[in-house]
């Protein structure tokens, strides 16, 4: 597959690099690392993601998969015009309407309801793994992405959600409940603009992230969660955290 210009790097993660190959098309390419074991983990995540994406097929709430590329190597997707949910909240939280937040909440639930219907547990629901893309009217819609850590039958990405989106009271394994608990924190983040028990904006250092992880794991482990009753749909958030739902369609 050839392209008329050099790919433009638009994001670098711990396991992948996102390159713009041409307008509207991006490549998720494995990141080169020195550690052999980490390189094997990255390789597995790309194998898992491709398999999961083929199981899911096309859906309005899943970022559209365009196939694979050999040179450069990776997975091809439609480019999200507004980037990740996390980055958008960090930049624009004060200007986002309640109606827009409620729409994104509904769309986040729709994405997980669909993946569960297809037998897929995402297992890493966090704001960085949702993308925002404008429709023909300029309205931003939410799309789920990043399935490298997901599970489906014998396919196992071997991942669990980050602190703040995982229930430390539960066993360290992926279940349907894993995603439902995470959705509570996703809804909370959409409504407030920040993670549970965190101030708005990105972490300033690895040390700050580690301190947050320890704090939120301790609080969640004690069954202590942020106050949500004053938030629109706060009861649903609380019920996700309390484990009161067994099916996403009940949210």
User: Would you say residue 6 has pLDDT above 70?
Assistant: no
Q: Three-state SS for 187? A: helix
C-alpha to C-alpha distance for 2 and 212, rounded to whole angstroms? 44
Q: Are residues 65 and 154 in the same domain?
A: no
72: preceding bond cis by omega (within 30 degrees): yes
Taking only the tens place, the pLDDT of each residue in 72-92 is 889 999 999 999 999 999 999
Taking only the tens place, the pLDDT of each residue in 207-230 is 999 999 999 999 999 999 999 999
Taking only the tens place, the pLDDT of each residue in 142-191 is 999 999 999 999 999 999 999 999 999 999 999 999 999 999 999 999 99
Q: Are residues 33 and 97 in the same domain?
A: no
pTM of the entire predicted model: 0.93
Q: Are residues 128 and 158 in the same domain?
A: yes
Which of 78, 93, 115 is the last residue before a domain boundary? 78
Domain of 51, CATH number, reads 3.30.200.20
Q: Which domain holds residue 209?
A: 85-250
What is the phi/psi pair of residue 115, to 5°?
-60, -40
Q: Which of 137, 16, 15, 18 is nearest to 83 (CA)?
A: 18
- With residue 37 as reference, give the H or E element that holds it: helix 36-56
C-alpha to C-alpha distance for 197 and 170, rounded to whole angstroms? 20
User: Would you say residue 2 has pLDDT above 80?
Assistant: no
| Dihedral over Cα of 87, 88, 92, 93: its sign | negative
Distances (CA, A) of 133 to 83, 199, 236: 7, 26, 26
pLDDT, average across residues 7-29:
88
Higher pLDDT among residues 122 and 42, named by residue: 122
């Amino acid at each position: 597959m050839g392209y008329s210009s050099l790919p433009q790097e638009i994001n670098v993660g711990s396991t992948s690099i996102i390159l713009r190959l041409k307008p509207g098309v991006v490549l998720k390419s494995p990141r080169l690392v020195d550690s052999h074991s980490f390189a094997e983990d990255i390789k597995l995540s790309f194998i898992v993601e491709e398999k999961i994406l083929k199981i899911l097929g096309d859906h309005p709430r899943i970022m559209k998969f365009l196939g694979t590329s050999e040179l450069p190597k990776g997975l091809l997707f439609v480019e999200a015009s507004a980037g990740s949910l996390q980055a958008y909240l960090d930049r624009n939280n004060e200007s986002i309407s309640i109606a827009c937040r409620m729409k994104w909440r509904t769309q986040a639930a729709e994405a997980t309801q669909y993946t569960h219907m297809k037998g897929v547990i995402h297992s890493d629901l966090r704001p960085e793994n949702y993308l925002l893309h404008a429709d023909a009217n300029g309205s931003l819609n939410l799309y789920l992405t990043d399935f490298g850590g997901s599970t489906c039958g014998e396919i196992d990405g071997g991942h669990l959600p980050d602190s703040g989106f995982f229930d430390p009271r539960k066993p360290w394994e992926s279940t349907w409940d894993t995603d439902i608990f995470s959705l509570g924190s996703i809804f909370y983040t959409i409504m407030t603009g920040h993670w549970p028990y965190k101030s708005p904006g990105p972490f300033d250092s690895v040390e700050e992230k580690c301190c947050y992880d320890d704090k939120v794991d301790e609080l969640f482990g004690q069954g202590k969660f942020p106050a949500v009753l004053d938030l629109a749909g706060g009861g649903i958030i609380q019920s996700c955290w309390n484990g009161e739902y067994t099916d996403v369609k009940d949210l």
